Amino acid sequence: MDSEVLAVNYWKETRKDLKKILSEPWKTLLLFHNSREVKGIVDFIKKQTGAKKILYISLTKTDNAIRPYFQDMGASLFIVDCVSGGLFEKKNTMTSFYENPPSTIDEMSKLNEKYISQLCPDYIILDSLSQFIDFSTTTPKNTQNLYDYLNTLKNTKTSCKFILLYMDTNSKGVAFVPSYDVDIILKMEVIVDKVYWNG
């Protein structure tokens, strides 16, 4: 069986020029990260400029786990909690919404559309694409569904920007990324270790 090149991925380390990259026009940003803590993600989100209204769609964390980290950010935060919504019967509030977790990318797309029309946010954060796809493997069906979803986001008639989180905490290599279907792809590595102070 002949091998075929499926994708060519280039990674660039961006520290000093991150602010410049984020200030350029973009619609979709895919962020690979290894942070299990909400704080690491929120610190990245705080680097965004011009966000007055943020919609955080969470498939991995509850409203209570996310909200405290945004308290000092000068933007209105709306959270769609798909974790509690699938486990408990909770009532929506003005800023917190509870939904059953979407089981497919298509259901995720419908969830986006619902809250875009209701809230007209500046940013939509999806936490996390890793619920739907494994970038360490390639399957034609999943890949096509992802490409369709990303193209839907890029063609959405709204000025909002999409930050798609992908939790990458395992040791597998990344087999492919949708480099032609996303405006910006970044990888954020949080290094955690013990700090020993000389006393």
| Topology given in CATH for the domain delimited by 27-188 | Rossmann fold (3.40.50)
pTM of the model: 0.84
Cα separation, 126 vs 187, whole angstroms: 16
The pLDDT tens digits of the residues spanning 16-57 come to 677 777 888 899 999 988 877 788 888 888 877 778 899 999
| pLDDT of res. 169 | 63
β partners of residue 30: 164, 185
Averages of pLDDT over runs of 10 residues in the chain (199 residues) are 57 67 87 82 79 92 93 90 80 94 91 94 92 77 83 88 85 70 84 57
- Domain ranges (residues) in the chain: 27-188
Sequence-ordered list of residues with C-beta below 8 angstroms from that of 53, at least 6 positions apart, any chain:
75, 76, 78, 119, 120, 121, 122, 123
